[in-house]
Chains A and B, each alone.
Chain A
Amino acid sequence: MSDQNDAIRGGEFLIRPTEASDIFIPEEWTEEQLMMKQMTLDFVAQRIIPQLEQIENQQEGLVPSLMEEAGELGLVGSSVPEAYGGLGLDFKTTMLITEAIGGAHSFSVSFSAHTGIGTLPILYYGNEEQKQKWIPGLASGKLKGCYCLTEPSAGSDANSGKTKAHLTDDGKHYVINGQKMWITNGGFADVMIVFAKIDDDEDLTAFIVDGHAEGITKNPEEKKMGIKGSSTRQIFFNDVHVPAENLLYKREQGFKIAVNILNIGRIKLGGAVLGAAKDASTESIHFANEREQFGRPISKYGAIRYKLAEGAIRLYTLESALYRATQNIDDAIAALKSDGMEHGEATLKGIADFAPECAMMKVLGSEVLDFVVDEAVQIHGGMGYSAETRAELAYRDARINRIFEGTNEINRMLTVDMILKKAMKGEMDLMTPAMAVANELTGVPDFTSPSSDPFERQLSYVANMKKAILMVAGSAAQKLMMSLGKEQEILMNIADMAIWLYTIESTVLRVQKLAQQAGNTDELSIQMAIMQVYTYEASEWIHSAGKEALLSFAEGDELKMMVMGMKRFCKTEDFNTKAARQLIAQHLIEKNAYAL
């Protein structure tokens, strides 16, 4: 791996090349990590799936007791340091566990809310007494946590909440009044992280609230489209007395906590949806192999094979991007720790640096899952519409992922915003490469013939697509200046381009690394096909999004030049995607599973 000074920072993928040797690929899990993944999958298969119906019906006490079982197995406290009763695993390994639990439908949401937003605010922002008091119980699953940020009038605009806190005259308690909405695990939580404004404060403060405190009342369970087994409540705080020492971190620093915890939640959501999508893909392959129409299994038909292959392509590319970003975060945490920073602070800082990637993985992951479950329903035909199948359940359960942890619109805007902020703070130099692209536009095109090495060729397309993004973002910033922040359609275009670019690059690097390790590509025909199809199709998407953006704000000769530049920068080689998808589908059909 690169030495520390040279280590890649969040957002820098746009301006820096990465070497295959610098990324982690899922083929590098250790035997121990794979055993942890398998045991998590066993837990889901043996304890969750057989009880899905009872979970969906919210059978009293069932989810909390399953959470305790998961706690006994060590799953709940995997990211909590050993000093507080957890296992202290690195970020990447906890991501693998998140992925493995991702196929547990509603339970995955209850689990993630508890282990993530329900536990981490105390773990990372609590003082020593608060950590000693709450974390061991949360890490074992004996206490259940929830996170109360959203209010009826404060969703995406989370800092606008109306919940109030006021210190009693004796200074012993904060009295909280207000209403929270959409609170996952709200029905049974023992510990609530509640965000409220003290008196007339501008900004939120976070509190640790006993879930059974007097003055807390709840509406009945929300009737939801999916993840019906997860508890979701409106919670009312009526003069709830919270000991003053339960203020978390610092006054008016609640929003900072919320944002930093959400960074973790977002990339973890990417892991959970990866697991869910792998299951949905395997379900589709099973069904396609078994269902016969016109005398043959439907997996013999090209239209169905296309869907199976495309699902696998989206999954494989998501996985490549997700674990690349996850390893970057682990490396950043390790570097900060070796400089003497404490574990919790280093974790937050390392993740915050990669906040753009976290938002990108949330958007990408949730949309890949929606693609895969949508096609799963389609492949199942009428049975996909029947409540008897997992495909129908998966379809409904998937939809929430584009909404919570920050809607995908908010996360797209954040992606661009955070990268631009890094540039403005001088943390990364966007200007020099953007200027270089502008100069290249007016210069003589590069006519050197493409490399004979397939990976070098793919990476040259990647380098060019980075130029395309820099050209669009650079000229938009120049033309629109401060109003760019309000031009949401353009921000969406730029975010999409960045997400696809990152995913193409991660996939090429993964397959290149596999080829380097094997010394050849003999056994990599499926991976090569995935890489080539994805580069081909995503380069078209990038081209289209970039051109749309350009057409909205540029004009005249400059527009013409940039549109031509866009075409040049997004050019990839002609490639028979049909044959490649057939190859991928054949592999899936033979393995009768998403086996990559």
Chain B
Amino acid sequence: MKLLVCISQAPDTTSRIAFTNGNTEFDSSGVQYIVNPYDEWYALVRAIELKEKHGGTVTTLTVGEAGCDPVIRKALAIGADDAIRVDVKPTDAMQVARLIADQARSGGYDIILCGKETIDHNGAVVPAMVAEMLDCGFVSNATHLDVAGSQATLKREAAGGEEVVGIECPFVLSAAKGMAEQRIPNMRGIMSARTKPLAVESAESTSATAISQFTLPPEKGACKMVDADRPEELIRLLREEAKAI
């Protein structure tokens, strides 16, 4: 089985978020990057589990510049066999999806696994776009994946319950919490990561969109305590001050 896992980097959740260039660019100075958790914890680990069970290979694919190499090597340390990095600065979803699809098209992959979203921009559309560009099936927000031959069974959360979906390979999925559990890379994995192949591909790209401004969420206001035995006051505050109801 040939598995492709799309990996992107994301700022560590404790990073201080700030913008530069007239609030049009993310200020990456001093920011620690991690593997986007949905890509790592769920998509990558499940792919490795399937490889361990059925044999095959796990390749990771990243659209990004050389600064992404540390997170790619982390993925290799966790257990991917090899990696491809498309040496282009990612600027919008369509651009990234196109670059992924171009790489994936000739690869003969059985399943393309993505995280359901990155925790920075939260666009959550790349996986679906990739599937569309490759003209193959797509399952979003999958919480479970099993494969028998060329037939896969997935579960996904639906309103008020769960759906079980069957699909024929090749297909694309976006992984959500539950598909696998985070795996700590072991020391041997870390030591072997540097000898695993990391191919750097160059490509042409254009973006369909451009960010004109970022803004931070409003500062948290002061906290008001309301006596537990005065629910009417709570309702009044919610209605008149917070205008929430």
Q: Do A and B bind each other?
A: yes
Measured CB to CB, the residues of A under 8 A from B are: 31-32, 35-36, 39, 42-43, 46, 72-75, 78, 87, 590-593
Q: Which of B14, B16, B74, B182 contacts A35 (CB 8 A)?
A: B74
Residue pair A43, B74 in contact (C-beta under 8 Å): no
- Report A39 CB to chain B, min CB distance, Å: 5
Q: Judge whether B184 is part of the interface by a CB distance below 8 angstroms.
A: yes
A72 / chain B contacts, CB cutoff of 8 Å:
186
Residue pair A32, B191 in contact (C-beta under 8 Å): yes
Residue pair B184, A43 in contact (C-beta under 8 Å): yes
Q: Range of interface residues on chain B?
A: 10 to 19
Binary flags per residue of B164-193, CB closer than 8 Å to A gives 1, else 0? 000000000000000000101111101101
A73 / chain B contacts, CB cutoff of 8 Å:
184, 186-187
Q: Which of B16, B73, B184, B186 contacts A46 (CB 8 A)?
A: B184
19 additional contacts (CB under 8 A) given A35-B77, A36-B187, A39-B185 = A31-B73, A32-B73, A32-B193, A35-B70, A35-B73, A35-B74, A35-B193, A39-B186, A42-B184, A46-B182, A46-B184, A73-B187, A74-B186, A74-B188, A75-B187, A87-B187, A87-B188, A590-B16, A591-B16
Q: Judge whether B194 is part of the interface by a CB distance below 8 angstroms.
A: yes
Q: CA–CA, A32 to B192, complex, Å?
A: 10
Q: Which of A46, A78, A590, A593 contacts B187 (CB 8 A)?
A: A78
Residue pair A35, B184 in contact (C-beta under 8 Å): no
Nearest 10 A/B pairs, CB to CB: A74-B187, A73-B186, A74-B186, A42-B184, A35-B190, A39-B185, A39-B184, A31-B70, A87-B187, A43-B184
Binary flags per residue of B184-208, CB closer than 8 Å to A gives 1, else 0? 1111101101100000000000000
Specify the chain B residue showing the minimal Cβ separation from A87. B187
Q: Could you pull out 7 A-B pairs where Cβ atoms are within 8 angstroms?
A: A32-B191, A32-B194, A35-B74, A35-B185, A39-B187, A72-B186, A592-B14
Q: Which of A32, A592, A593 contacts B190 (CB 8 A)?
A: A32
- Report B65 CB to chain A, min CB distance, Å: 16
Q: CA–CA, A590 to B14, complex, Å?
A: 12
- Report B10 CB to chain A, min CB distance, Å: 15
Q: CA–CA, A78 to B186, complex, Å?
A: 11
B187 / chain A contacts, CB cutoff of 8 Å:
36, 39, 73-75, 78, 87
A43 / chain B contacts, CB cutoff of 8 Å:
184
Interface residues of B in 59-105 (CB under 8 A from A): 70, 73-74, 77
A593 / chain B contacts, CB cutoff of 8 Å:
14
Q: CA–CA, A202 to B123, complex, Å?
A: 75
- Report B75 CB to chain A, min CB distance, Å: 11
Give the most central of B14, B186, B194: most A CB within 10 Å. Answer: B186
Q: CA–CA, A21 to B194, complex, Å?
A: 27
Specify the chain B residue showing the minimal Cβ separation from A593. B14
Give the most central of B14, B184, B188, B193: most A CB within 10 Å. Answer: B184
- Report A552 CB to chain B, min CB distance, Å: 50
A31 / chain B contacts, CB cutoff of 8 Å:
70, 73
Specify the chain B residue showing the minimal Cβ separation from A75. B187
A590 / chain B contacts, CB cutoff of 8 Å:
16
Specify the chain A residue showing the minimal Cβ separation from B70. A31
B182 / chain A contacts, CB cutoff of 8 Å:
46
- Report A291 CB to chain B, min CB distance, Å: 14
Residue pair B73, A87 in contact (C-beta under 8 Å): no
Specify the chain B residue showing the minimal Cβ separation from A86. B187
Give the most central of B187, B191, B194: most A CB within 10 Å. Answer: B187
B186 / chain A contacts, CB cutoff of 8 Å:
39, 72-74
- Report B173 CB to chain A, min CB distance, Å: 26
Specify the chain B residue showing the minimal Cβ separation from A88. B191
Q: CA–CA, A593 to B32, complex, Å?
A: 14
Specify the chain A residue showing the minimal Cβ separation from B74. A35
Give the most central of A39, A72, A591, A592: most B CB within 10 Å. Answer: A39
Give the most central of B188, B190, B193: most A CB within 10 Å. Answer: B190
Q: CA–CA, A73 to B74, complex, Å?
A: 15
Q: CA–CA, A31 to B185, complex, Å?
A: 14
Interface residues of B in 1-37 (CB under 8 A from A): 14, 16
A46 / chain B contacts, CB cutoff of 8 Å:
182, 184
Specify the chain A residue showing the minimal Cβ separation from B188. A74
B77 / chain A contacts, CB cutoff of 8 Å:
35, 39
Specify the chain B residue showing the minimal Cβ separation from A72. B186
Q: CA–CA, A46 to B77, complex, Å?
A: 18
Binary flags per residue of B122-154, CB closer than 8 Å to A gives 1, else 0? 000000000000000000000000000000000
B185 / chain A contacts, CB cutoff of 8 Å:
35, 39
- Report A214 CB to chain B, min CB distance, Å: 37
B191 / chain A contacts, CB cutoff of 8 Å:
32, 87
B184 / chain A contacts, CB cutoff of 8 Å:
39, 42-43, 46, 73
- Report B59 CB to chain A, min CB distance, Å: 20
Q: CA–CA, A203 to B229, complex, Å?
A: 76
B74 / chain A contacts, CB cutoff of 8 Å:
35
Q: CA–CA, A84 to B153, complex, Å?
A: 43
Specify the chain B residue showing the minimal Cβ separation from A73. B186
Q: CA–CA, A370 to B134, complex, Å?
A: 61
Q: CA–CA, A592 to B12, complex, Å?
A: 14
B190 / chain A contacts, CB cutoff of 8 Å:
32, 35-36, 39
Q: CA–CA, A373 to B182, complex, Å?
A: 32
B194 / chain A contacts, CB cutoff of 8 Å:
32
Q: CA–CA, A31 to B70, complex, Å?
A: 7
- Report A28 CB to chain B, min CB distance, Å: 16
Q: CA–CA, A31 to B194, complex, Å?
A: 10
- Report A560 CB to chain B, min CB distance, Å: 53
Specify the chain B residue showing the minimal Cβ separation from A97. B187
- Report B218 CB to chain A, min CB distance, Å: 20
Q: CA–CA, A591 to B182, complex, Å?
A: 27
Give the most central of A31, A46, A592: most B CB within 10 Å. Answer: A31
Q: CA–CA, A73 to B182, complex, Å?
A: 14
Q: CA–CA, A32 to B77, complex, Å?
A: 10
B188 / chain A contacts, CB cutoff of 8 Å:
74, 87
B193 / chain A contacts, CB cutoff of 8 Å:
32, 35
Q: CA–CA, A247 to B106, complex, Å?
A: 64
- Report A285 CB to chain B, min CB distance, Å: 12
Q: CA–CA, A75 to B185, complex, Å?
A: 11
Q: CA–CA, A32 to B73, complex, Å?
A: 9
- Report A456 CB to chain B, min CB distance, Å: 30
